[in-house]
Amino acid sequence: MGTYTYMKGGFPGENLPGVHAALDFLISNINHCHGYEKSPSEFVSMEGQRVVVLGGGDTAMDCNRTSIRQGAKRVTCAYRRDEANMPGSRREVVNAKEEGVQFLWNRQPVEIVGEERVEGVKVVSTEMGPPDARGRRTPQVVEGSEEIIPADRVLIAFGFRPNPQPWFAEHGIETDERGRVKAPAESQYKYQTSNPKVFAGGDMVRGSDLVVTAVWEGRQAAEGILDYLNV
Ligand SMILES: Cc1cc2nc3c(=O)[nH]c(=O)nc-3n(C[C@H](O)[C@H](O)[C@H](O)COP(=O)(O)OP(=O)(O)OC[C@H]3O[C@@H](n4cnc5c(N)ncnc54)[C@H](O)[C@@H]3O)c2cc1C
C-alpha cells in the first residue's frame, strides 16, 4: 500500500493559494496529459510561473522537470542540505540543471509569504553539522541569513510517511513506531506480518524507497506465501 501521508514543513503559509503538495501537482499533470481530468480546473499549470520546489528527493526532481516542461518562467529548487547530502539521484540533478532548474543548496524554508496568495518563500541559510545516526550530516541554521525567494507557485516535496489503516489493528497487523508494517525478511515465512495470513513488502514495510526494492520484496513475499502454503 506504499506510503501516502504527506510530510509537511509545519511553517506558516503552507495553506496559501498557489502552494501545492508535490503529488497533487504530479497527479494533476498526468491526468491532464492522458485526458483523465474531470474538469480543467483540476490542472495545476506552471506555464509562465516562477516556481519554487522545496525538497531534495526524487519527488522534488519530478516536480522540477515537470514544471520546466510545462513552460515555467523559472524553477528554483531549495534544499536544506548541500548537494553531497541530498537524498535524490545525482543523475536527476544533472538532468534538471541541463533543463534549466536552478538549485539553491543549504536553504531551509521557514515561511511561505503572501497576502492573498503565495508571493515568495522565506528561507535561511544552513551549514552542514555532524552526521546523524544514519550518517547524514545535519543542517544547522546560520543566524541572520534570511532571504525571500519570489514565487508564484510553491511545490512541497518533503517526502511521505506510511499510512497505516484502522483495519491493521483489527486484524492483528502490527506496525513499528514510524507506522511501518512489521514484516521481517528473515522470519520463517519471508515478509509475513504478525497476522500469519497477511504478507507485506515495499514502502509500507521499509518506508519510502525505490521501485527495485519494492519489486524485490514483492517477489520475496510471494515466495513466503508459497512456503506458508507449503506448495
Ligand atoms: C513522485 C515520486 C517519484 C519517485 N521517483 C522514483 C524514482 O525515480 N525511482 C525509484 O526507484 N523510485 C521512485 N519513487 C519511489 C517509488 O515510487 C516507490 O518506492 C515504489 O513505488 C514503492 O512501491 P510499493 O509497491 O511499495 O508502493 P506503491 O507503488 O505506492 O503502490 C501502492 C499501491 O497501493 C494502493 N493503495 C494504497 N492504499 C490502498 C488501500 N487502502 N486499498 C487499496 N489500494 C491501496 C496505491 O494506490 C498504490 O497503487 C518515487 C515516488 C514518488 C512518489
Chain segment 107-121, per-residue pLDDT in tens: 999 999 999 999 999
User: What's the whole-model pTM score?
Assistant: 0.91
Q: What ligand 1 atom has the least distance to the C-alpha of 23? A: 1
Per-residue pLDDT of 16-67, as tens digits, reads: 999 999 999 999 999 999 999 999 899 999 999 999 999 999 999 999 999 9
With the most atoms of ligand 1 within 8 angstroms of its CB, the residue from 168, 203, 217 to mutate is 203
Per-residue pLDDT of 184-222, as tens digits, reads: 999 999 999 999 999 999 999 999 999 999 999 999 999
Cβ of 211 below 6 Å from ligand 1: yes
Question: What CATH homologous superfamily does 5-160 map to?
Answer: FAD/NAD(P)-binding domain (3.50.50.60)
Nearest CA, atom 14, ligand 1: 210
Instruction: Provide the strand spans (E) within 13-98.
Output: 19-21, 50-54, 74-78
Cβ of 64 below 6 Å from ligand 1: no
Q: Are residues 149 and 187 in contact, defined by beta-carbon separation less than 8 angstroms?
A: no
Nearest CA, atom 2, ligand 1: 59
Query: Where does the chain hold its CATH 3.50.50.60 domain(s)?
Result: 5-160
Kindly report the backbone phi and psi dihedral angles of residue 27, in degrees, each rounded to the nearest multiple of 5, phi listed first. Answer: -65, -40
Cell of 177: 513506531
Kindly report the backbone phi and psi dihedral angles of residue 22, in degrees, each rounded to the nearest multiple of 5, phi listed first. Answer: -55, -50
* Alpha carbon distance 83, 95 (integer Å): 14
Q: Using pLDDT thresholds of 50, 70 and 90, give the confidence band for residue 97.
A: very high
Nearest CA, atom 19, ligand 1: 210
Cβ of 198 below 6 Å from ligand 1: no
